[in-house]
Structure 1
Amino acid sequence: MIQFEEAILGLSNDVDSMTISKDENDDDNASTRSSITAVDSTPHDYKVKLDQQYVSSTVESSCPKVGSNDFDSLCVLGRGAFGKVLLVKHRASRTLYAMKTLKKASLVLHVNNIKTERQILEQVRHPFIVQLYYAFQTPTELHMILEYAVGGELFRYLDQEGMFSEPMASFYAAELVLALSHLHSLGIVYRDLKPENCLLDQSGHILLTDFGLSKVSLDGKTNTICGTAEYMAPEVLAGLQYDYSVDWWSLGILIYDMLTGSPPFKGNNRQKTIDGIMSKKPAMPYYFTNEAKSLLTGLLRKNPHVRLGAKPKGADAIRKHRFFRKIDWKALSERHMDPPIVPLVVSYMPYHLSLSLSYSHFACVFFRTIG
């Protein structure tokens, strides 16, 4: 168990932080796995503090370490195969966070995914990417204390609305363009873009989350088949080597989903979905504007080399597209543009709690659409 903890959390007297390096022949398959090297790659004001009981990561080097006893659990925000995400309150500051809890016993075969996710969250600082505040462990679990996105998943708003207007889709797609561009500049292929991984903060801005399937690659290339079928690029499904352009394909699928309420390639079963991605062109509804049709045609090209966003022009070609003609990219990057959806949060004390957790309150989220 000690070796496992060292691999995940970097429990070593001579290591200040961990990062992933790519072996010369690493193809991201089980036969060739990413190796771990000890480097100090974190900014001076963001150090990972280590000891033999838990690891605490804070954005302020002067902050005290924390453990599970420093937080009160309020409710379950989501569940996954290896753990769950809780809404927690820090006892001292009374600040709300999202605590991702992973069971060690379930993670032996997924060590690389957890190492990668934690490394990315430690290093990435961006207004449209969820922030990691602390990371620590107990004898049976790993914990990551993340920024609480009070607005919840973009998927829920899309499900309630049915579909978004083009200005709404353009706004959120633009924020995702900035988030993905930042990840690509750091050598990170995201690989799991979908509405469920796009959260909204209290102001209604996007927070990209869940980096469990992301890949840190020095040359931006890998060939693992992973992701959600409806959003996976053809080259991923084919098992070919691919690069950052797979994220632009997924962005195209997500924009189509926002504009229509459903991904363009969706069959009765997984195989029909895959067949559609590999062989069919996306249908363009009559109400799509010329700008929307042009953007989606460019993003959903099956040949990644001619796909909009591919090198050498990269994300610049996407930002200059007329679909984003009303976006002020500088103002957007500084969060000076008003989001089209503003979550309205109401707290109340429930009469009956069905979950076996101790609550002090439960947050209910409503929303209003601007314009």
Structure 2
Amino acid sequence: MKRILTGLLTVLLLGALVLPTAAKAARIKDIAGLEGVRDNQLVGYGLVVGLNGTGDSASTEFTIQSLVNMMENMGLTVDRSKVKVDNVAAVIVTAQLPPFAKTGTTIDVLVSSLGDADSLAGGTLLMAPLKGPDGQVYAVAQGPLVVGALAFGGNAAKVQKNHPTVGRIPGGALVEREVPFALPNQNRLVYRLKSADFTTASRMAAVIDSRFGRGTAYTLDSGSLEVAIPRAYLGRTVDFVAALERLNVTPDALAKIVVNEKTGTIVMGEEVRLSTVAVSHANLSLVITESAEVSQPGPFSEGETVAVPQTGIEVTEEGGDLLVVEPGVSIGEIARALNAIGATPRDLIAIFQAIKAAGAMHADLEIL
């Protein structure tokens, strides 16, 4: 029993040592991609019909023209001046064509109002060809929209939830043309890092070499690697790519602090470090109040009642604490130290800007 407990304790201790390192690791497929394997953007124009009076107004001429052209193509003769488009809306249809998409497969599409329609809820998209940058039709979209929003109201009031002029059609486009692409036959693959970094590229090459043999991979630059297909995987490129992309690599990144002054959002990376610096924090509060003092004339006098405005100004400044930050502190220590002096997110932005200006911050400060 004692041996079992000792073994279990050893396993737990080893797990505690391994888990922090493994938690930082990422699969190669999540930080890099095979060159040439990417999505392709598609766009098209179409009409959404079946709206309950929430379509484009009569002033949207291209909607009327599109509707008339469609009906004439169907063999109907219509008077353009008598066409109403209250139940019709002109839309732009966009989609992402994934790599290796085959003819007959379906993809999701996003439908966005192009005119002045109030809502696309309940509408159905008519057949809309989706073209690529080369002008070729690669898919055709059609089907009922999923809007997930509502908008009702009249002249005096209106109720709206979410965004009613944009909707999606899951699996709403049928792929009609494939993007020509084939895996390279030169027994070499090129991988592109999603975030270029010399350290990450070097680590990725080392991990690949340790798994498939020395010299399998070497870095071309900070954002790309060339990988030779091992002899054991010749003719089995797909199997090799699958085995390679499952490998774990610990990516590296620049130390950076990103702040958004509009929302007060602050995001800091774990590599952010500070030199010795003293920070003083104090809040200045300015309160201005307006009131009216009424001057009432005496009885039976010919005076008038006069309201005299009174302005009160109060300025208070809280005492500031001088905080000394030791060199090389971690992100957690920085957060705890600044919270200890009562700094709000808005204050933190100003503090980080001042620390960066003082040259005590070893990180990039990006302000959105």
TM-score range (shorter-chain normalised) is: under 0.3
Higher fraction of strand: 2
Rg comparison, structure with higher value: 2
TM-score with structure 2 setting the length: 0.22
